[in-house]
Chains A and B, each alone.
Chain A
């Protein structure tokens, strides 16, 4: 029995039937996310795996209430700890930074270049926590120590450009964690970092999930990162969830042809063999085909795939697949 099991914080995030569209200047409509379903429970790491245009970042931004002005939420519900966050307004404004926060890929543009990193973290405590300057500084240094920044007393006075990319990403994570959020959304937070630095950041985030019961929604294109940290994996393609399940279900026994193709071609350090890559390229999000978005690249497509969009359906053991061919049979 785990004596140190974290006590769950809140009820996490639930996304139901979320559809987000963008209107382009030329008047066409881009279906950036279509009927997305996603849950992040407290103390759980959910990885959203997808390539560019898969809708993974749009889903995250919709959850944070940070969509661009030309985005339109066509349908859906997003709840945090039972509170509805849609349409974006007061609910998400009150929760953002406190109960749910987000870390982005580019730490340099997330930080203000003319303030010290210490002052930027301390501001979280002063503005939201109403702490005195001295207390805020103490809290900040403690937090910097927690995210494994060496020599935090000295680094408190450093400017963003004086720190390495990995160190800056730790500062951004510290800011996101300052108010002890129930859920952290991390959008490709390690993509720009070297592998040895990435490993340290992944350890840090997983520690927060395991030890403090934080819910982590981690967005990546890297199958390896998913295999490394995920409890559950959600695979997205061209705006839709195509497969979801536990990390073993999705990455060891994948059902969707896209997931299979991705896993077969994902390069690995443990073997040199690579299978036939997935043919073709990602569809134009402004001009998605009728039926399944993967049809043109799919090795097992049948006529139905060109007519009807497959729904995300259970295939047993909690695994879900959106495929007419591979999702139908056994369970």
Chain B
């Protein structure tokens, strides 16, 4: 653990912006059988995002809302149609080559499926050495084996596990290996895309505990992408809610969960099953009608208006921007006053 702290370069002061996205937009062309462009999927639309150093920011939303596209923009796995990305003070939007590699050292990823994320032909030790070889300047060759052992112990595995292959491990253990591999190059930021969704409930809790422990020990910032609101409640400091490519609400987790302001957030939270059967008769439930509209042809104005019980004519003409409802809590809805009383 102490070694990891030393190989970490200049750690940011907590609360400073670590990663900043401005006006991030990603459109995908839709082509017909002849390759002609016949439409555009507006996967991410004009998103501003700040991930502060040392915090866990959760990105939540339902399938197709654009959260994974946004994650690939933030990790520079994909380039935005418009908008820019900064890592601290540096504009990273157009990095290439060595500088891009340095960015990747700082920003690592843990994916949903730990079965697909590990090469089945490599031992765990070989998988963990690979990032150290790619980023060769971090750990000297003679010390790499010791580093692998240290990483395994850091994530609660045994040093002897490095000689084994992925198929010999359970899903939870494999996800621990994936986390260790991401941490091998001492990143400051970990982007976790549905990291516990493929795991059993009892194992989920262990991995979430590990992530929280590592965050405290190493001062990591997490961008935590999940459709599971209950998991997010347990781990995130702040939460951003996405609907059809836009962030519709953002704020401290406890505040958003107890006082959601956007009608979509209210509906989303009221749909999550309660874990105490005594609550099921007392709580209010909002049932949304219809499906999420197609991102190739979203409604004009507010994208949520086609399913919103508060929508007025104004919602069809104005794209609402995120407005402060308290110091750190913002929502994008022109009917915020009505939304407050309806919740």
Q: Is the CB of B274 within 8 A of A270?
A: yes
Q: How far is the CA of A117 from the CA of B87 in the complex (A)?
A: 49
Would you list which residues of chain B between 218 and 261 have a CB under 8 Å from chain A?
A: 227-231, 233-234, 253-254, 257
* In the assembled complex, B33 has its CB within 8 A of some CB on chain A: no
Which of B146-154, B282-290, B320-328, B335-343 is the interface stretch? B282-290
Q: Is the CB of A267 within 8 A of B230?
A: yes
* In the assembled complex, B159 has its CB within 8 A of some CB on chain A: no
Q: Is the CB of A224 within 8 A of B272?
A: yes
Q: Is the CB of A274 within 8 A of B234?
A: yes
Would you list which residues of chain B between 284 and 330 have a CB under 8 Å from chain A?
A: 285, 287-288, 290-292
Q: Is the CB of A224 within 8 A of B274?
A: yes
Q: Is the CB of B277 within 8 A of A227?
A: yes
Which residues of A lie under 8 Å from residue B172 when comparing CB positions?
281
Scan B198-211; emit 1 where CB is below 8 A from any A CB, else 0.
Answer: 00111111101100
Which of A58-66, A190-198, A301-309, A315-323 is the interface stretch? A190-198
For B202, B230, B254, B269, which residue has the most chain A Cβ atoms within 10 angstroms?
Answer: B202
Q: How far is the CA of A221 from the CA of B229 in the complex (A)?
A: 16
Q: How far is the CA of A251 from the CA of B276 in the complex (A)?
A: 7
Contacts A272-B233, A272-B234, A277-B209 given; does A198 touch B201 at CB 8 Å: no
Which residues of A lie under 8 Å from residue B203 when comparing CB positions?
281
Would you list which residues of chain B between 264 and 279 have a CB under 8 Å from chain A?
A: 267-269, 271-279
- Chain B, residue nearest A275 (CB): B205
Q: Is the CB of B274 within 8 A of A247?
A: no
Q: How far is the CB of B202 from chain A (nearest CB, A)?
A: 4
Contacts A267-B230, A268-B230, A272-B254 given; does A228 touch B274 at CB 8 Å: yes
Would you list which residues of chain A between 204 and 253 have a CB under 8 Å from chain B?
A: 221-225, 227-228, 230, 247-248, 251-252
- Chain B, residue nearest A265 (CB): B205
Q: Is the CB of A203 within 8 A of B275?
A: no
Which residues of B lie under 8 Å from residue A1 when comparing CB positions?
none
13 A–B contacts from the bound complex (CB under 8 Å): A52-B200, A194-B227, A196-B268, A199-B271, A221-B200, A223-B201, A247-B277, A261-B202, A268-B275, A270-B279, A273-B234, A277-B202, A281-B170
Give 9 A-B pairs besides A165-B63, A270-B279, A282-B200 with Cβ atoms closer than 8 angstroms. A51-B200, A195-B268, A227-B273, A227-B274, A227-B275, A267-B228, A267-B234, A269-B257, A281-B173
The chain A residues found within 8 Å of chain B, CB to CB, are 51-52, 150, 164-167, 194-200, 202-203, 221-225, 227-228, 230, 247-248, 251-252, 261-263, 265-274, 277-279, 281-282
